Structure 1
Amino acid sequence: MDLPENCDVRCLIVENDDEARMRSVITAQPVLNNGVALDYVLETEAGIPFGRNRAAKEALARGDDLLVFVDDDETVAQDWLVKLVNGYRNSDAVLLGGPVRIAPPSVKLTRLQAAIHDSLIRRHQKKEKRAQEKAARSTNPEITIATNNWIAETRLFSDENIWFDENMRFSGGTDTKLYQTVKAKGFVTGWIKDAYAYETLPVERLSFRYQFQRASAHGNTSFLRKLSKKPQSRYTLFLRIPVKVIQFTFLALLIPFARGDALLKLAQKSGIFYGKLTAALGKRPPQHYSQTTGY
């Protein structure tokens, strides 16, 4: 990985477990081949927001100005960090993100898995195109910044007291909530179109069930936030049930003809709507990340 000019760069691994299982692997090479020091900390409080907040606390303890996140199932382009930092320096944004592309599969996939994988690739391509179009029209675009490709000023944590919500321990969506909080406070956010990260999808995620469950968790958490501001939204949601049933039936009929796109849409759209319905009925988000596969 190339390094940006006039930057003191350190890499940090936050292991989220009850004991240090990976310390020896990570500390075996305390300095990477490009000269960057590699740090390791153990966060024993289980849950994604605890791991993310621990990274922020470590950055603040060192006096760092910027914090960068990338997921552990991703690789990055060689100039990724250079692009991120230059994008930050050339904007007024305090929180910025970049595109995540789907990497080629590392194992042979079944026909169903391949159909979902290819459909996810097309979905990411459309999402990236929409983000680029929004960024071209505005210096403060409405593009949700997720921690899979993320750079922000650490003062958001120290000065503004904006943190990842630890009450959402296993449900997911805390990065979306943090982004929305940053926007609500009037800060500028940005998009760096050529800072690429690449995600490798494990086969466990290439199923209808997984895509449905993940969408359901996100639908639940997002609708709970909406209900906190507009409680009457639950009633309009119930009125939409007949229309949604027709829509989902139509998508099911398209599955044999749509190269996996209809299957993925059915899983995600029905999952989101189901998650909203459970939120409207007063149920908390499912603990989507309570069990992990190592990815």
Structure 2
Amino acid sequence: MQDVSAVPRAHDSAGAAIRIAICIPTYRRNDLLRLCLAAVASLRPPDGSRLLVLIADNDASGGARAVWKESMQSSAMQTFYFVEPRRGLCCIRNRLVQEALRTGAAWIAFVDDDEQPAPDWLQAHMHSLSASGADVSCGPVILRASGAVIGAEPDSGSVPDATPRSPRFVACNNVLFRRKLIAEQGLRFDPLFNFTGGEDFDFFEASRRCGNRHIWTAAAQVYESLTPERSTLRYLFHRHWSGAMTRVLQQRKWQGAGMVWPRFLLKICGKLLGGTASLLFALLPPHRRAMEDCIKRYASAWGYLCGLLNLYRERYR
């Protein structure tokens, strides 16, 4: 365990185990971080590998330091804790990948501080990557409440789908990728998304444009606890509204302003029509799932419009 301002640079030796750096950004969610680190400490390393844990605290006061010490003091893994005082998602993720390079890691994994990876999480990712020769592997985030599995995050695909495929989007809540994305291709998280979110989707879109191959590994599962505030319809609306806004921001970056208006105006019309149909179904008789679908569609339509009008909410500032 090391509490550092910067990770010491590693010196490779012949025949050394392959290093995998597990990157965990955190900000004032100590109870959830404690659960995350307990799961990380129980990970089974892939054959011939050595796991390193990097925890970056975006709280300038170092509020997660005590949790890190308590959770990892008996772990055999080498762990590093450091504070990243510059606020924002991109600042903390860029700091983590930079420190991961200093460890000599050949592979870099990300998991969020409110998630718990399954014991075979990295084994499943590495098996898929070795078999396919791909550069990036992502997997499902499975929601559970009171220990019971209740479904998958909307952005993480279908949990039962074990068919190898190229995912539409890749997020940092469950991913393992090659060092070359950072060290050779120079990819970093764009500060444009520092406070809006969507920085991970943008990062892996840049990876795709570099020619890297992305795969979906259904067996590489992480679990997210569904907290009471995240089970409300208000949260559902906010999530899809903000996600739609950042999607417009991403498309404007990659395709130009002239392309986003016709594309997203059509999407807005489709979402409004679909949302109205879901609303009618939800009311006759009352049906919560249809109401949730209605909220998602209306929220996305409103988010697309806000994005087109450059009305962004910096929810991570």
* Superposed pair shares fold, TM > 0.5: yes
Pairing 1:124-139 to 2, within 5 Å after superposition: 127-128=157-158, 132-133=162-163, 135=164, 138=165
CA contact 2:261–2:308 (8 Å) conserved in 1:
yes
**Alpha-carbon displacement from aligned partner over 1:160-197 (angstroms, at most 9, x marks no partner):** 11111222122111111111111112111112221111
Q: Note closer, same or farther for the CA distance 1:55–1:207 as it changes in structure 2 (3 Å cut).
A: same
The residue aligned with 2:12 is none
**1:153 positional shift:** 1.1
CA contact 1:68–1:150 (8 Å) conserved in 2:
yes
Query: Match of 1:280, as an amino acid?
Result: L
Query: Which secondary structure does the structure 1 equivalent of 2:45 belong to?
Result: coil
Q: Structure 1-normalised TM-score?
A: 0.82
**Are positions 1:280 and 2:308 aligned together?**
yes
The residue aligned with 1:25 is 67
Which has the higher mean CA deviation after the structures are superposed, 246-255 or 147-156?
246-255
The residue aligned with 1:293 is none
Higher relative contact order (CA 8 A, sep 6+): 1
Identity of matched residues, %: 24
In the aligned structure 1, how far is the partner of 2:178 from the partner of 2:102?
Answer: 14
Query: Match of 1:261, as an amino acid?
Result: R
**Alpha-carbon displacement from aligned partner over 1:29-51 (angstroms, at most 9, x marks no partner):** 55544x21222111111112222
**1:142 positional shift:** 3.5
In the aligned structure 2, how far is the partner of 1:236 from the partner of 1:30?
Answer: 48
CA contact 1:227–1:234 (8 Å) conserved in 2:
no
**1:91 positional shift:** 2.2
CA contact 1:170–1:287 (8 Å) conserved in 2:
yes
CA contact 2:51–2:77 (8 Å) conserved in 1:
yes
Q: Note closer, same or farther for the CA distance 1:30–1:236 as it changes in structure 2 (3 Å cut).
A: closer
The residue aligned with 1:15 is 57
Query: Which secondary structure does the structure 2 equivalent of 1:151 belong to?
Result: strand
The residue aligned with 2:239 is 214
CA contact 1:251–1:266 (8 Å) conserved in 2:
yes
Query: Match of 2:199, as an amino acid?
Result: T
**Alpha-carbon displacement from aligned partner over 1:32-71 (angstroms, at most 9, x marks no partner):** 44x2122211111111222211110111111111111111
**Are positions 1:105 and 2:151 aligned together?**
no
In the aligned structure 2, how far is the partner of 1:227 from the partner of 1:215?
Answer: 18
**1:241 positional shift:** 5.3
CA contact 2:117–2:222 (8 Å) conserved in 1:
yes
Query: Which secondary structure does the structure 1 equivalent of 2:79 belong to?
Result: strand
List gaps (5 residues or longer) in structure 2: 1-42
Which has the higher mean CA deviation after the structures are superposed, 211-220 or 52-61?
211-220
Moved over 3 A (4+): 28-33, 122-126, 129-133, 235-246, 256-259
Pairing 1:172-183 to 2, within 5 Å after superposition: 172-183=197-208
**Are positions 1:254 and 2:295 aligned together?**
no
In the aligned structure 1, how far is the partner of 2:266 from the partner of 2:120?
Answer: 49
1:47 to 73, 88, 92: 88
**Are positions 1:155 and 2:185 aligned together?**
no
Query: Which secondary structure does the structure 2 equivalent of 1:9 belong to?
Result: strand
Q: Structure 2-normalised TM-score?
A: 0.77
**1:151 positional shift:** 0.3
**1:237 positional shift:** 4.0
CA contact 2:249–2:307 (8 Å) conserved in 1:
yes
Higher strand fraction (1 or 2): 2
**Are positions 1:73 and 2:140 aligned together?**
no
In the aligned structure 1, how far is the partner of 2:303 from the partner of 2:276?
Answer: 18
In the aligned structure 2, how far is the partner of 1:12 from the partner of 1:163?
Answer: 17
**1:87 positional shift:** 2.2
In the aligned structure 2, how far is the partner of 1:102 from the partner of 1:208?
Answer: 16
Query: Which secondary structure does the structure 2 equivalent of 1:4 belong to?
Result: coil
Query: Which secondary structure does the structure 2 equivalent of 1:214 belong to?
Result: helix
